[in-house]
Amino acid sequence: MQIEDVELAGFVKITSKDALLVIDMQNDFLPGGALPVADGDQIIPGINNLTDRFHQTENPIVFTQDWHPIGHHSFASTHPGKNPYDPLEAQGIGPVLWPDHCVQGTHGANFVPGLQAAKATLILRKGFHKSIDSYSAFLENDRTTETGLATFLQTLGIERVFICGLALDYCVYFTAIDAKEFGFDVVVVLDQTKAVNTPEGSVSNTLKNMTEKKIIFITSDKILG
Ligand SMILES: [Zn+2]
């Protein structure tokens, strides 16, 4: 399944029970960064438009940051003899190893220039446990450690989340799947996300899984404030 094959929803109106999740819009994930996502920079204006739309109606806006300590176990450099993008499956890590990226307090971990982070209701940092990665904004990769986001959103009465950002086949995907597991309706804003597609086929597999889980796909021009 490819992006062109995804069935898109029609117009949707934002209500008071909706939140926007902006996933990992950080320097290291842009072209020129440590773990670049192709065309990641092209979605900045569209994400700013979405942020404006949710901000105008005072809906919750959550920005996430991948936020790793030096020597994080998801980094190939932590494993002797391993290179970035080599396969490695371990508890809380994998399916591949990554270049060093989004190290806490570095330029690479900062939000991308021009992003309207000042309009975020919550900035949620994830991946700060050295031996566990966290692709999802809800659950770390051991699949048991919660980030607290589900409770935060539930406390605010949120029932549906709109998800955009980077990367479609990793952090957006796992966030979407977990949001559904926590009982939220989930809308992925397909034109405001870009994929890594490593290993090859990950876009196709993740789109298929999201479709099976009844996750809705939409383009940002169909979201009405
Ligand atoms: Zn990471």
Mean pLDDT score, 61-66 = 98
> Cα–Cα distance between 206 and 2 in angstroms, integer?
10
Q: Tell me the CA–centroid distance for residue 58 and ligand 1, in Å.
A: 30
Report the 3 state secondary structure along 57-78.
CCCCEEEEEECECCCCCCEHHH
Q: What's the confidence (pLDDT) of residue 24?
A: 98
* pLDDT tier at 90, thresholds 50, 70, 90: confident
**Total-model pTM:** 0.97
pLDDT tens per residue across span 110-129: 999 999 999 999 999 999 99
Q: Which residue's structure tokens are 């290179």?
A: 83
Whether residue 39 has pLDDT greater than 80:
yes
* Cβ neighbours of residue 160 closer than 8 Å, sequence gap 6 or more: 15, 17, 18, 19, 184, 185, 186, 187
Mean pLDDT of the chain: 96
* Cβ neighbours of residue 45 closer than 8 Å, sequence gap 6 or more: none
Q: What's the confidence (pLDDT) of residue 196?
A: 92
> Cα–Cα distance between 47 and 192 in angstroms, integer?
6
Lowest mean pLDDT, pick from 118-122, 140-144, 184-188: 140-144
Q: What's the confidence (pLDDT) of residue 150?
A: 98
Domain 3-224 bears CATH identifier 3.40.50.850: yes
Whether residue 225 has pLDDT greater than 80:
no
Q: Tell me the CA–centroid distance for residue 29 and ligand 1, in Å.
A: 10
Length of the chain: 225
Mean pLDDT score, 10-16 = 96
> Cα–Cα distance between 5 and 35 in angstroms, integer?
27
> Cα–Cα distance between 161 and 182 in angstroms, integer?
11
Residues carrying an active site annotation? 24, 126, 171
In three-state secondary structure terms, 87 is strand
* pLDDT tier at 89, thresholds 50, 70, 90: confident
Q: Tell me the CA–centroid distance for residue 7 and ligand 1, in Å.
A: 29
Mean pLDDT score, 38-57 = 97
Supply φ then ψ for residue 59, to 5 degrees: -80, 150
Calculate helix-pair angle for 202-212, 173-181, nearest 10 degrees: 20
Whether residue 206 has pLDDT greater than 90:
yes
